[in-house]
Amino acid sequence: MPAATPPVCDFGWKAPGFSLPATDGQTYSLSDVAGPNGTLVMFICNHCPYVLAVLDRILRDARDLAAHGIGVVAICANDAETYPADSFPRMQELAEKHSFPFPYLHDETQDVARAWGAECTPDFFGLNAEGALQYRGRLDASGRNPGPADARRELFEAMVQIAETGAGPRDQTPSIGCSIKWKAA
């Protein structure tokens, strides 16, 4: 299966709201997860080798970003009928097994992923405090396999910059991953 790459950052794009069920039994909206200095919205899933290769780094960065006033949330929008590994019960298992420090939301209808223009897993959307898009890049130099242990933390650095200045870096390398598994029309 070929890898998908999202488009470059559309600086200032206003993120649409959402209200989705989470693996912890709650329902979260964008305003519920937003941090005072910005928000990181990640489209991930359970089975994607690109996500699994960097899951430990995603968790590390999410924990570290909280100290900078960045809210973090993950959304799984894959078609669970075709990809049972991405079902809500399996999402709950993954979140519990890895002690996710952020809500893991289920976009069963895929309406949120479509509204956001999500393309792949992982797909990262870095918003400033006003909810305007400032980052649509990769986590780091990892692909299907983890990058070097000392890889530059591109996503983390960009989100810290957004927290401090409200603006993301002008140069961004797109994320790469498996395409979102859309339901048949």
CATH number of the domain enclosing 67: 3.40.30.10
Diameter over CA atoms, the chain: 43
- Which residues span the domain enclosing 128? 3-179
What is the pLDDT, as a whole number, of residue 61? Answer: 98
**CB contact burial 84-112 (16+ within 10 A = b; e otherwise):** eebbeebbbebbeeeebbbbbbbbbebeb
Does residue 184 sit within a domain? Answer: no
Dihedral angle computed from the Cα positions of residues 14, 18, 24 and 26, in that order, rounded to the nearest 10 degrees? 130
Does residue 185 sit within a domain? Answer: no
Q: What are the φ and ψ backbone dihedral angles of 30, each rounded to 5 degrees?
A: -60, -40
Cα→Cα distances 120→63, 135, 147, Å = 23, 15, 19
**Amino acid of residue 37:** N
What is the pLDDT, as a whole number, of residue 7? Answer: 78
What is the pLDDT, as a whole number, of residue 99? Answer: 97
Residue ranges for the chain with pLDDT beneath 70 = 1-2
Does residue 105 sit within a domain? Answer: yes
Does residue 9 sit within a domain? Answer: yes
What is the pLDDT, as a whole number, of residue 185? Answer: 75
Q: Where are the beta strands (DSSP E) in the chain?
A: 3-4, 19-21, 27-29, 38-43, 70-76, 104-106, 120-121, 123-127, 133-135, 177-179
What is the pLDDT, as a whole number, of residue 114? Answer: 97
Does residue 10 sit within a domain? Answer: yes
Number of domains the chain is built from: 1
